[in-house]
Amino acid sequence: MALASMFPRPATALEVVSRFFSVVKAKADEETAAKAAARTTDKSSPTIFDKIVKKEIPATIVYEDEKVLAFRDINPQAPVHVVLIPKDRDGLTQLSKSDPRHKDILGHLLYSVKVIADQEGLTDGYRVVINDGPNGCQSVYHLHLHILGGRQLKWPPG
């Protein structure tokens, strides 16, 4: 192996600036997509997650029981990024649409997070995120919990 490839050179100022702007652009794209989804989505129509539940499209499923399904996010934001959903959406397009009849499934989802985090070996901690509505950058209108871990996460989020 060439010595130069063992000691990669530090990033140039131009590369650092360019990386910064690509992160800013990605965040702006997510916000634009979330706002468009909130405006244009018929919230009562099935989402891509229904197709995953019905196994009509592939997903890397990491956990499943009679009520919930968890699969790896297609665009992971951390070494472990799992999306956990109720199999039956039952009106839960987003957390803010929940009502008292959803208390059981909401508790079931939260306990499933713990089971999945154990299974994924997230012994040093992890984060659970629910994006709600356009300001929360929600893009899929089927309630879901993001389980993120496997690296040091920063706080506060953007």
Q: Which residues are catalytic?
A: 144
Is residue 128 near ligand AMP by the rule CB under 6 A?
Answer: no
Place of tokens 């995953």: 52
- With CB under 6 A as the contact rule, which of the stretches 2-10, 67-75, 85-93, 102-110 interacts with ligand AMP? 67-75
Least Å distance, CB 4 to ligand AMP, is: 37
Place of tokens 């702007």: 21
* For ligand AMP, the closer CB: 117 or 141: 141
Please, what is the Cα angle at 57 between 42 and 147, to 5 degrees?
80
Among 138, 143, 145, 149, contact with ligand AMP (rule: CB under 6 A): 138
Least Å distance, CB 14 to ligand AMP, is: 30
Least Å distance, CB 104 to ligand AMP, is: 23
Helices (H) and strands (E) in the chain, counts: 4, 5
Please, what is the Cα angle at 89 between 84 and 94, to 5 degrees?
75
Give the footprint of ligand AMP on this chain (CB under 6 A): 48, 59, 71, 73-75, 83, 131, 137-140
